[in-house]
Amino acid sequence: MEALLRGAPAIAARAKPSRRGALAAGAAIVLGSPAVAATEGGVIRWRMATAWPKTMKGPGVSAQRLAARINTMAGGRMEVATFAAGEIVPAFAVADAVSNGTVEMGHTASFFLQGKIAASVFFTSVPFGLSPILHESWIGFGGGQALWEELYRPLGLQPFLAGNTGPSLAGWFRREIRGPGDIKGLRIRVSGLGGELYRRMGAVPQVIPPGDVYPSLERGVIDAVELLGPMNDLDIGLQRIAPFCYVPGFNKPNGAAEAVINLAAWDKLPDDLKAIVREACRAEHAAGLAEAQLGQGVALREIASLPNVTLAGLPVEVLKDAHKIASALRQEIGATGALAGRILASYEAAAAQLRPWDRISRVPDFHDN
């Protein structure tokens, strides 16, 4: 275990018998008419639909905390109420609900829109892409925010980074992965661009909302799960069913969440409330990532101590195949349109500028654990 945590090949661990936090999103209640932000006694009231179970560590907590921060900073002039996946709309319909005015605000992930806007994946995570801090640098200071706003403007959405769970695990598998051949035919729950990547590797990707992952794995609908990091995966209880835990999370090296705001509702806000919402999102992005780093470290130790779980590095040949496919996929997305091409060019320019310093600035780890 200690060898793997220092970066060497992997070792075995065991699953606890307890099931913790297997969550499922409820049936969606789709409202019949668009919502209008209520104003009572001068108070602006917004509803925020989220893609997560309300108590889900990481994004679920971030959404709650974001609303609470806006409410406090607004000093009674604005109130945001949060709704879990399924309470107003299903997990994957949050952006649509904000776009059409069913709700004023949403908390979700940009790559849930990839079926509609291919380039949206760059604003959450792409395989072998930017890490959380490098991604935030690109969005905040490398031109990413302006491109993101341009991409979402036709949908009537104003986007902001608003939480981050950090890199994901490669996932939890029912059977051992010894090489590329073991990926073929694998039914894996996977999000973002990784779905197409796994399909091209021969797997059968499945799109399943976060709240439905555990029951799908438990019923044998899927053979493997790529969800989030150790903190969330352990809390949900994936280790009880899929005993092979693999690293690194090549598919999702970043876990950025987004707040999306109906553009008409956004434009009606006074400048000081706009600043409050913007800074609340920025603060939650930083807080979410810091909290996740601590939680993931603690959870990884626990995973590595479970005698019935095997914690291992993916075979190099699997990673090489995935990297080749990921590079091709990014270029294909960039070729889907002029704006997509500019987003890809900006993203790759940021990677070229940021990665050299990121690599050489790391202090070698001489610790024993």
Q: Are 82 and 162 in contact (CB under 8 A)?
A: no
* Residue 22 token pair: 């297997």
Q: Write phi, then psi, for 50 (nearest 5 degrees).
A: -125, 160
Q: Are 142 and 123 in contact (CB under 8 A)?
A: no
pLDDT at 12 over 70: no
Q: What is the pLDDT of residues 93-131, one digit of tens each?
A: 999 999 999 999 999 999 999 999 999 999 999 999 999
Q: What is the pLDDT of residues 32-56, one digit of tens each?
A: 334 445 565 689 999 999 999 988 9
Nearest to 24 by CA among 214, 222, 229: 214
State the pLDDT confidence band at 365, using cuts at 50, 70 and 90. confident
pLDDT at 322 over 80: yes
State the pLDDT confidence band at 191, using cuts at 50, 70 and 90. confident
Q: Residue 213 contacts by C-beta under 8 Å, 6 or more apart in sequence?
A: 189, 225, 227, 236, 238
For the chain, the residue count is: 369
What's the rounded mean pLDDT across residues 47-75?
96
